[in-house]
Amino acid sequence: MIRLRTDFFAESLGMGTSMVVLMPQAAAGIGMDGVAGGGDPVREDRGVPVLYLLHGLSDDCTIWERRTSIERYATEKGIAVVMPEVRRSFYADEAVGEKYWTFIAEELPQLIARTFRVSTAREDTFVAGLSMGGFGAFKLALHHPGRFAAAASLSGALDPSSLSLDLNTGHLAERIWGGRDLAGTEDDLLGLLAAADPAALPALFLDCGTEDQLLGVNRGFLEAAAQHGVELTSRLRAGAHTWDFWDRGIQDVLDWLPLRG
């Protein structure tokens, strides 16, 4: 696996930002002997599958590597992993700040496609995240169902309007959403779920701990999905809002992804 910490200028943000990318060495044409020309010719023709892996509210683009063995897990699956930096943006175009939704939904995938040998086919493109990143993963899946084959939320903060005061620091809601009601907006996941065509959606996976403070909003999402006929792979298992929980969870997500051979 090749690991790159990439610093670049994002036009949509108007500033420099960073991401970490994990690439299977075969995708770079490097064989087991270190000589160019190795790898799976079938995958080389179309590029390797890619997982966009999103961080949480208090994290950055390095956190998945520092708290889990994502590089080892991805190596075993032969999948590229893109871990972008979005700060405390809730994957939104901020009312007072930067356009992180435009960055994550439009500019980033175009940059990845131009720069790395990854597949751009829907069946090879996946997104997952934890907490705020779980919200981001489902937001991408609901807004762009034709782009992703599967999306997973681990302990997702799926209803930002219900954020507890201890998370809503630094006037977060005012900075991101201008204090407006999120019902009916692009950040209203339940509204997006109600309007979606269930047959057109990617496969969805929801994982949340029964001791997690976000259990209620995750149950609410499951109830709304059932009400609107949206199929979901879900489990509410013992655990809290911790890296032990997410380290196990991301392994299970990778096992669940419909990776082509």
What letter does residue 233 receive in the DSSP assignment? E
Band (162; pLDDT cuts 50, 70, 90): confident
Q: What is the DSSP letter of 161?
A: G
Measured distance CA(84)–CA(55) in Å, rounded: 8
Q: In DSSP terms, which residues pair with 5 in a beta bridge? A: 20
DSSP 8-state symbol, 153: E
**β partners of residue 129:** 54, 153
The three-class DSSP label of residue 8 is: strand
Q: Residue 249: what pLDDT? A: 98
- pLDDT for res 193: 97
Show the CA angle centred on residue 255, arms to residues 52 and 50, nearest 5°: 25
Q: Is residue 94 over pLDDT 80?
A: yes
Res 33 pLDDT > 80: no
Q: What is the pLDDT of residue 44?
A: 53
Choose the weakest-confidence range: 11-15, 82-86, 176-180, 195-199.
Answer: 176-180
User: Which DSSP string corresponds to 149-203?
Assistant: SEEEEES----GGG--TTTS-TTHHHHHHTT---TTSTT-HHHHHHHS-GGGSPE
pLDDT tens for 193-226 read 999 999 999 999 999 999 999 999 999 999 999 9
Mean pLDDT score of the chain: 91
The DSSP H or E segment spanning 172 is helix 172-177
Average pLDDT score over residue span 42-68: 90
pLDDT, position 260: 85
Strands (E), the chain: 2-10, 15-23, 50-54, 80-84, 125-130, 150-154, 203-209, 233-237
Please check whether residue 167 lies inside any domain of the structure.
Answer: yes
Determine the average pLDDT of the residues in 121-127: 98
CATH number of the domain that residue 57 is part of: 3.40.50.1820
Percent of the chain at pLDDT exceeding 90: 84
Long-range contacts for 67-72 (Cβ within 8 Å, ≥24 apart)? 67/243, 67/246, 67/247, 68/243, 68/246, 68/247, 68/250, 69/247, 70/22, 70/250, 71/1, 71/3, 71/22
Q: How many domains does the chain have?
A: 1
Structural domain for 193, as ranges: 2-256
Q: Is it the case that residue 161 has pLDDT exceeding 50?
A: yes
Q: Residue 35: its pLDDT value, please?
A: 35
Is residue 20 one of the residues assigned to a domain?
A: yes
Q: Which pLDDT does position 50 carry in this prediction?
A: 98
pLDDT in tens, 98-122: 999 999 999 999 999 999 999 999 9
Does 95 fall in a domain?
A: yes
Task: Look at residue 167 in the predicted model and tell me its pLDDT.
Answer: 57
- How far apart CA 108 and CA 116 sit, in angstroms, is 12
**103 phi and psi, to 5 degrees?**
-60, -50
pLDDT at 28 over 60: no
Q: Which residues contact 227 (CB under 8 A, 6 or more apart)?
A: none
Task: Check residue 78 and give its pLDDT.
Answer: 96
Structure tokens at 14: 């108007």
Query: For residues 206 and 138, what is the distance between their CA atoms, to the nearest angstrom?
Result: 10
- What is the model's pLDDT at position 180? 87
Residue 29 has pLDDT above 60, yes or no: no
For residue 261, tell me if it sits in a domain. no
> Which of 26-30, 75-79, 84-88 bottoms out in mean pLDDT, i.e. has the lowest?
26-30
